[in-house]
Amino acid sequence: MTDARVFFNFEVTADSHTLSAYKSRGGYQALEKALKGMQPIDVENEVKASGLRGRGGAGFATGVKWSFVNKQSPVIYLCCNADEGEPGTYKDRWIFEHSPHQLIEGMILASYALHVRHAFIYIRGEFDLPWRRLLVALKEAREAGYLGENILGSGYSCDLIPHQGGGAYVCGEESSLISSLEGFKGYPKNKPPFPAVKGLYEAPTVINNVETLANVPWIIANGAATYAEMGTEKNKGTKIFGVSGHVVKPHLMELTLGYPLKKVIYEDCGGILGGKALKAVIPGGSSSPILKASEIENITLDIETVAAAGSMLGSGAIIVIAEGTCMVRLLQVLTRFYAHESCGQCTPCREGTAWMNKIVTRISQGKGRKGDIESLECITKGIMGNTVCALGDAAAMPVVNFVKKYRDEFEYFIEHGRSMNDGRLEI
Amino acid sequence: MSCLTDKFDQVASTYPPEMRPSLVLPLLHLMQKEKKHLSEVDAIFIADYLGVPSMQVKEALTWYTMLYRQPVGKHVIKICRTIACSLMGAERLINYLEAKLGIKAGETTPDGLFTLIAVECLASCGTAPAMQIDDTYHEQLTEAKIDQILKELS
Amino acid sequence: MAVSKSEGAMIELKIDNQIVEVQEGETVLQVALRSGIEIPSFCYHPCMSIAGNCRICLVQVNGRPKLMPACNLPVTPGMEIETHSNAVIEARKAIMQFISLNHPGDCGICDKAGECKLQEYHMRYGDYDPLSIEPKSRMPKFYNLSERILLDNERCILCSRCVRFTREISKTNQLGIVERGSHSRVERLECATFDDPYSDNVVVNCPTGALLSRDFLYKSRIWYLETVRSICTGCARGCSVNVWRRNKNWYVRGSGADKNLLAYRISPLDNPEINGPWLCNKGFDLHKLTAKPRVLAPAIAGRDVTIDEAIEAARQMLADAKKPAAIVSAHASNEELETFKNALGDRVAIYTRQDYQPEAGEVVEDSFLIKADKNPNSYSVQALFGNQPFDAGKGHDLVLLWGDNLDYASLGGARVIHLSSFEESQEQPASVLIPISTFFERSGSFCNFEGTRNNFEKVFDKPTLVQHAGDLFGRL
């Protein structure tokens, strides 16, 4: 088992994001290798063989997604999903801030594999430093001949167009991203057809997360087999995890998939703030089911193991919650988030998220009523599986799991009009 | 407005010509940089420039949270209120800012200097609590840090 | 775009355990609608793009727990659909809860009651007791989208049918949905009004009482009304329409009995050959056309006479005339034109005209429904009599004028026998004036500009002294 790092393999300095720094650590060699000696299908097969799965949260096999595209189509688009908005997630911005060329090289390689001429980077509008560093890096890459016509004399041409979002979490959903990129509100689209068949302006489109694409240069340079040596049987390679919440040292770390969760919290992040006990962990961003402290004993960070425990690896955003936190008020923070971010297109999500937020807010203000918990359970059942996109499910999951696992706190708040834990969210 | 259309032309030239409607959001951002907040007239201006229906741009203007339709202060303070920041004291800091500025979230100070908005996750979860003033991120906030930042902007 | 019924292969699948033969390229909802299988839908419309936002059409596919919207579900061989499984029934209940979560209980004062899809589905698929104890959201309520259309955002279920209509059918893009999440609402541009020449279609299309016609507002509960098939005479397209009149079981007695002779409103009648399910605003105003002041009594030189006196005078004048002419109306029905030709075809010089020209401010012609010829039967007139505009220089001493909107003074001094429906002011009274019926008062047919024949039926009895033109010609 190699302990190779795909991302955190250099020291971050004031210049480590520049082209010269990137080249000095082997950057753009994968691109040269591919353009000089590989066919597009070879690149796709290499990515398939590596076992790389989407790093944005859905975990779909990347090479397989690429294979769905009909390469004979006159126009094919690639879009990098940099609309990092899942609460708890802050890993993609690191790539823009410190290794943007890694993403650029990955995108050119992916575009080559997919026969793409114009690729897009849909980056959330709020990002400031990531956006500025991306623009500088794109300029550097263009001037060095890695973008534009006839790259490195290979005959292959490609342009990457950066595009800022407008402040909408739902635009991280791939069909919503497409709607937004087409000049509309970010309304997700009904599937079928899937984006790989009919996406941006009805052309076949592949949407990949930043981290997913930024893995590609390493895979091409070092070979799929080397990548596949790392990780678990079904979840290969490494992933960037970002810890936040009640830990001493919240930070980003690149871990081989299959790393123990407890080790992350107690060793790598220095344990819980204030020496408190652990209450709960949300392992993969706010949309993933919350796990009680007792449930994380044997969890390793890979898609299958976390799923077996009843949650999701998701985006790799590990949110740590210490003893003493009021789960009712914490849920209200989430229901408020989803109600704010619901796009409004389909009935269950538009009405359901607002309704759940009203109920949970009422409870958290001491105005809970008997039957509120049963109502919440009913609403989540009415939303899940019935919406156009996964935001509905993402909004319902926290409600389902918080109520299931901390029912006593909700009942207490309703009966007594106040929190069981003095309403704390902060330590 | 003509120098605005020059700027529009410049952005448009970076996109493939068949993707002209994609410019709706970039041009709304561009226009907001100039005018600080936008109204329906501005949406129609952009629609006419792009050759898309006015209603399409109007819908986009009302849907994206980064676009303002009411006047904002010289500096817009956007403080995160989502889960990681809440666990690290966002509520305390929002109350602090409201008391310090004398306004509630969503309002502008009477001198027109600051607008305070509570926003959703800014992807600064490891360095929570965080806020964004205009374009700049400010992370690992404390009351003292907020005092310092606001002093420099006043 | 709507999924088209392409020339696909025929495949078999099961719906509710029944084997159904369907065409490749169809969706499950399309199959259900044409086979009489019950799957509810709000946002689906066969002529517009698939929105898939209401979620009421969710069905169970191959027993899987995740339900799929039938409107966006392409048929595949061997598919097994259940439209009434427990999962589907529970889902429909949940969707109805969500749809009516903030819906005001306006039925008692809402015009749509009785023809409201929301009411119908609520009774059929919803739960009687609402789960929510939250106060309902308030939205802009009951205001003018234009002088013709009322919008009530609280009643709206955001199915987007009206928005898609202005985007895809009338192509004016005047309606949109603004704001996000539960704040979403239908709106028009602030700086413009909803002056789409096809605006009234959104009232027909709206599944709730969110969009209402100001003209019809509070005039009647719809269960007192019934429809009669007719044709719009506003232009040569001749769109099929329904005229709504009072059902005779609900006739008003005593004061207000004039309501029994009222055309309450007009709605499009789906005619795939001519107008599909659409109608322009002029068509929606058809009942105003026929409500103009009528000629109700025969007259000779302005003096009221009996009908027999008038007909006799006319007959005599025709017999005595040296150079009689007749101007045929392009509003005449095919049947009337036949009768005219047989009775008078050889006895008079026949001229034709287009009774009505486009008025100032009226859409002349467009690429959708509206034609420049503002008369319903020019086609048949042309087929029978060619194109012969009246020539005042030919020295006609008598003109049998059939139809309205012509100045007697342009007839070169000839004496006029006027078969007229609507009152109008002329410098001199006609020599003989005979009131004739409108197309609302008899059955018949028109041929539209493409020669497509279309039938209309009698809506009201004609007033007593008014004659059917077809009955007159034989007596002249």
**Hey, are the CB atoms on C180 and A344 less than 8 Å from each other?**
yes
Handedness of CA A248, A251, A255, A258 (dihedral sign): positive
Residues of C in contact with B54 (CB under 8 A): 173, 189
For A274-310, the pLDDT digits (tens) are 999 999 999 999 999 999 999 999 999 999 999 999 9
* DSSP one-letter code for C427: S
**Scanning every residue of chain C, which has its alpha carbon at the shortest distance from the alpha carbon of A188?**
C53
Q: What stretches of B13-150 adopt beta strand conformation (E)?
A: 75-80, 114-119, 131-133, 136-138
Q: Which residue has the tokens 């056309």?
A: C289
Q: Is the CB of residue C375 less than 8 Å from the CB of residue C235?
A: yes
Is pLDDT above 70 for A338? yes
C1 pLDDT above the threshold of 50: no
Checking if the pLDDT of C409 tops 50, the result is yes
The string of pLDDT tens digits covering residues A198-249 is 999 999 999 999 999 999 999 999 999 999 999 999 999 999 999 999 999 9
What are the beta bridge partners of residue A120?
Answer: A79, A161
Residue with the larger pLDDT of the pair C9 and A269: A269
Q: Do B55 and C190 touch (CB under 8 A)?
A: no
Distance from CA of C25 to the nearest CA of A (A): 12
Identify the residue whose tokens are 């397989």. Answer: A64
Q: Can you give the pTM of this predicted structure?
A: 0.95
Answer whether A382 sits within 8 Å of C134, measured CB to CB: no
> What tens digit of pLDDT does each residue of C159-171 get?
999 999 999 999 9
Q: How far apart are CA A143 and CA A341, in angstroms?
A: 39
The tokens for A355 are: 């309704």
The amino acid at residue B129 is P
| Residues in chain A closer than 8 A to B120 (CB atoms) | 85, 87, 169, 337, 340-341
Take residue B82 and report the two structure tokens written for it.
Answer: 């989502």
> Which of C53, C93, C131 is opposite residue A347, by nearest beta carbon?
C53
Structure confidence at residue A356 (pLDDT) = 98
Q: Taking a C-beta distance cutoff of 8 angstroms, is the pair A146, A28 a contact?
A: yes
For residue A404, count other CB atoms closer than 10 A to its CB: 12
Between CA C352 and CA C326 the distance in angstroms is 8
Quick one: tokens of C55?
């979620």
From CA A160, how far away is CA B15, in angstroms rounded?
10
Alpha carbon distances (Å) from A396 to A334, A377, C53, C304: 10, 9, 18, 79
Task: Please give the pLDDT value at position C3.
Answer: 47
Stretch among A386-395, B57-66, B108-117, C127-136 having the lowest mean pLDDT: C127-136
Which candidate from A163, A252, A343 shows the least CB-CB separation from B126?
A252
Nearest to A91 by CA among A268, A226, A235, A284: A284
Q: Which of A181, A185, A245 sits opposite B22 (nearest CB)?
A: A181
Task: Name residue C68's beta-bridge partners.
Answer: C59
Query: Do A232 and A255 touch, CB atoms closer than 8 A?
Result: no
- Chain C: closest CA distance from residue B18 (Å): 20
DSSP state of A152: G
Q: State the smallest CA–CA distance between residue A190 and chain C in angstroms.
A: 7
pLDDT digits (tens, 9 = 90+) for A32-47: 999 999 999 999 999 9
CB contact under 8 A, B59 and C178: yes
CA distances B130 to A282, B106, B146, C72, C281, Å, are: 20, 17, 10, 43, 56
Q: What is the mean pLDDT of residues B47-71?
A: 98
Q: What is the Cα–Cα distance from C323 to C390, expressed in whole angstroms?
A: 13
A154 vs chain C: nearest CA distance in angstroms? 40
Confidence of residue C309 (pLDDT cuts 50, 70, 90): very high
β-sheet bridge partners, residue C432: C300, C417
Structure letter (DSSP) for residue A252 = E
The DSSP annotation for C145-190 comes to SSSSEEE-TTT-----HHHHIIIIIS----EEEESSGGG-EEEE-T
pLDDT in tens, A177-186: 999 999 999 9
Sign of CA dihedral C413, C415, C421, C427: positive
Sign of CA dihedral C388, C390, C395, C400: positive
Mapped onto helix, strand or coil, the DSSP state of residue A390 is coil
Long-range CB pairs of B69-72 (<8 Å, 24+ gap) are B69/B37, B69/B38, B69/B39, B70/B37, B71/B36, B71/B37, B71/B108, B72/B36, B72/B37, B72/B108, B72/B115
- Residue B94: closest CA among B154, B127, B137, B141: B141
What pLDDT is stored for residue A163 in this prediction? Answer: 98
**B108-to-A28, A265, B78, C38 alpha-carbon distances in Å:** 49, 41, 12, 55
The Cα-based distances of A31 to A151, A152, A180, C457 in angstroms read 10, 9, 30, 76
User: pLDDT averaged over chain C?
Assistant: 95
Q: Where are the beta strands (DSSP E) in chain B?
A: 75-80, 114-119, 131-133, 136-138
Tokens of C73: 């579900």
Q: Which of the four pLDDT bands, split at 50, 70 and 90, describes residue C9?
A: confident
Chain C residues whose C-beta is within 8 A of a chain B C-beta are: 167, 173-180, 188-191
pLDDT at A423: 87
Each residue of A12-22: pLDDT tens digit?
Answer: 999 999 999 99
Q: At what angle do helices A347-364 and C86-99 cross, to 10 degrees?
A: 70
Contact: C97, A381; criterion CB under 8 Å = no
Select the residue from C168, C189, C190, C194 to test the B interface by mutation, using most B Cβ atoms within 10 A.
C189
CA–CA gap between residue C294 and residue C434 (Å, rounded): 11
Distance CA C189, CA C176 (A): 8
The helix (H) or strand (E) run that includes residue A284 is none
* Structure ipTM: 0.97
Mean pLDDT of C41-53: 97
* Pick from A244, A238, A215: nearest CA to A95: A215
Compute the C-alpha angle C463/C468/C469, nearest 5°.
140
DSSP string, C49-100: -----S-TTEEEETT-SS-EEGGG-B--TT-EEESSSHHHHHHHHHHHHHHT
Residue A424 is predicted with a pLDDT of 85
Contact across the interface for C94 and A386, Cβ inside 8 Å:
yes
With residues binned 3-state (H G I as helix, E B as strand, rest as coil), the percentages for chain C, rounded to 5, are 25, 20, 55
Kindly report the number of other CB atoms within 10 A of residue B87's CB atom.
Answer: 28
How far apart are alpha carbons A26 and A22 in whole angstroms? 7
**Nearest-angstrom CA–CA distance, B3 and A218:** 45
Nearest of C35, C112, C46, C47 to residue C81 by alpha carbon: C35
Query: Would the pLDDT of C86 be above 50?
Result: yes
Comparing CA positions, the residue from A417, A292, A311, A308 lying closest to residue A366 is: A417
Q: In this predicted model, what pLDDT tens digit does every residue of C211-229 receive, in sequence order?
A: 999 999 999 999 999 999 9
Q: What is the structure's pLDDT at C2?
A: 45
For residue C149, the cross-strand partners are C213
Residue B51, CB-side half-sphere exposure with 13 Å CA sphere: 5
Residue A390 reports pLDDT greater than 60: yes
Computed over every residue of chain A, the mean pLDDT equals 96
CB nearest A190 (choices: C67, C69, C183): C69
For residue C176, the chain B residues in CB contact (below 8 A) are 55-56, 58-59
* Residue A90 contacts B, CB cutoff 8 Å: yes
- Mean pLDDT value across residues B29-57: 97
Question: Looking at the predicted structure, is the pLDDT value of residue B1 above 80?
Answer: no
| Sequence letter at residue C437 | S
Give residue C434's identity as a one-letter amino acid code: I
> Measured between alpha carbons, how far is C234 from C432 in angstroms, rounded to an integer?
28
* Pairwise CA distance, residues B142 & B89, whole Å: 9
> Are the C-beta atoms of A301 and A261 separated by less than 8 Å?
yes
- Longest Cα–Cα distance in chain B: 51
Residue A244 contacts B where some CB pair is shorter than 8 Å: yes
Region C110-115: what's the mean pLDDT?
Answer: 97
pLDDT of C6 strictly over 60: no
Contacts of B62 in chain C (CB under 8 A): 178-180
C306-323: average pLDDT: 95
* Chains adjacent to B (≥3 CB pairs closer than 8 angstroms): A, C
- What is the Cα–Cα distance from A219 to A213, expressed in whole angstroms? 10
For residue C4, pLDDT beyond 80: no
Is C285 within 8 Å of C362 (Cβ atoms)?
A: no
Of A85, A93, A319, the CB nearest to B84: A319
User: Residue C148: its pLDDT value, please?
Assistant: 97
Tens digits of residue pLDDT in A117-169: 999 999 999 999 999 999 999 999 999 999 999 999 999 999 999 999 999 99
> Residue C409 contacts by C-beta under 8 Å, 6 or more apart in sequence?
C426, C427
